[in-house]
Structures are given as C-alpha cells and as structure tokens.
Amino acid sequence: MTQPPITFDDGAAYERLMGIWSRSTGNVFLDFLSPPPDQRWLDVGCGNGAFTDLVARRCAPSDIQGIDPAEGQLAFARDRLAGRNAAFQQGDAMALPFPDDQFDIAVMALVIHFVPQPARGVAEMARVVRPGGVVASYVWSYDQAASPLDPFEAAFESAGIPAQAPPSVEVTSLAALRDLWAGAGLEGIETRTIAVERIFPNFEELWSSATATGRLKSTVAKMDADAVAHVQAALRVRLPADREGRITCTALANAIKGRVRA
C-alpha cells in the first residue's frame, strides 16, 4: 500500500487527535520555560492554535504570531483566538516571514520532527528572536517509542502496513535536540522530559480520534473491513481497557530551551 503524505488540514479533527495531548504537554512545557509577561511570542507550526491558546491564557503575552502551512488549521486557530492579541498566517518554518530580532520567544510545539531541515528551522527561530530571547521546543520522544501514536503504528504494522515516520524523527532525542540548539549558536541550553497521560472513555473514542485526520485517516480509508478489524484487535491488546471500558494512554515528550547570544 502506498503511504500517503502526513498532512493535518482539519483543525477540529486535529483537536481530537493531538490538540488535547498538546495542551497537557504544553502546560508542563510552560512551567519549564517560566516566561515573564508582556513578551512577543512566535508559535512556529501553530496548527489549530492549541498551544497558542495556552500561551494567550497563561502567559499574558504582548503579542502572539502563529505560522503554519495548513490553511484549514489556521482557520480553526483564528476562530479559537478571536478577540485576543494573536495573528496567524501561512508560512514555512524554514523561511520565516519576519525580520531579525522581532520576538522575545519562539517555540515549536510538536513540530520540529515535521520540518524537512530541522537545523534550518532552529536557525530561523534564532534569527527572528532578539539577543537574550528564548528559542524552545517540545516533541514526542520517538527515540523511546513514546509517541501517543506508537501503539497505533505497531498495530498497523501487525497487519502488514508499515509505519510512516515524520521526515525528521531522528532529531527527537534530547541529545539530538541539544546538538541542534548548540549548532544554532544558542546558549544556556536546558532540556527535560515530560510524561503525560490521557484517559479515553472507551475504545471507540480512542480509535475515532486517532483516525479522523493525518496519515491514519488516509490509511484506514484504503483498508477493507477485515484489515481494519485486525488492526483494532491488535490495538486492544496493546491498550487494554479497564473494568469500566476506559483506556489510559501515556506518552513522553522531550523539551529544550536556549537563549540567543546577547
């Protein structure tokens, strides 16, 4: 079966899949950053605004700019943050449409592994952040097979459907992130791992949330009923329900921050 490209164009569907995960991880990430108020923020790969919304609610920013390649995601983000000091536009993480030194903080939330040239993306964030400002990111720990979608990928592989890794999954370890940040000339680099969990009320909610968008949606659409049943059975083994039918999923994210040289 030909692997479809990994795309996220539906903001509402993405919210069910990763928006909830992003916010639970993002809350810990913001504790790690401990940013002062009145900062100019840039959210690179903002998607549907899940993390941008956290920044707006928790950090009292003076301004937030979000950039993402998917207009469907951006439309959701604009509605979500309507009336707040946030603006969104289409753009490329490797060629940010901003002048040098414009922001105090630039972040990538669950994005850097989708950037074809991650070093270029980090360098671009460093370029648009003022001297002394912060460049930071968090991303699923693929090196430990700890993404929320790893149990799904294993279940699909059991049906002979290979996993489709993001284009830059090799940069998701703490060591690789440190190398990227150091390579961009950032200083005072700190890292941490964030553990999160999510409880689904039943298997149906677990399955539908993960297959409503992205590569799993495209894959399931091309499968016959027997193949889908095989994958679902394999997933139930990997993620068993409790007595009430609830399913607890866990994940690990790697986080990093550094400062632009003054």
Q: For the chain, give the mean pLDDT.
A: 92
pTM of the model: 0.90
* pLDDT score of 8: 62
Q: Going by C-beta distance under 8 Å and a sequence separation of 6 or more, which residues neighbour residue 231?
A: 155, 156, 158, 159, 161, 223
pLDDT digit string (tens) for 172-220? 999 999 999 999 999 999 999 999 999 999 999 999 998 887 778 888 9
Mean pLDDT of 119-137: 98
Q: Which residue reads 């890292």 in tokens?
A: 191
Q: Is the pLDDT at 104 greater than 90, yes or no?
A: yes
* pLDDT score of 5: 45
Nearest to 21 by CA among 238, 256, 253, 254: 253
Q: Is the pLDDT at 228 greater than 70, yes or no?
A: yes
- CATH number corresponding to 11-147+165-199+250-259: 3.40.50.150
CB 62 within 8 A of CB 38: yes
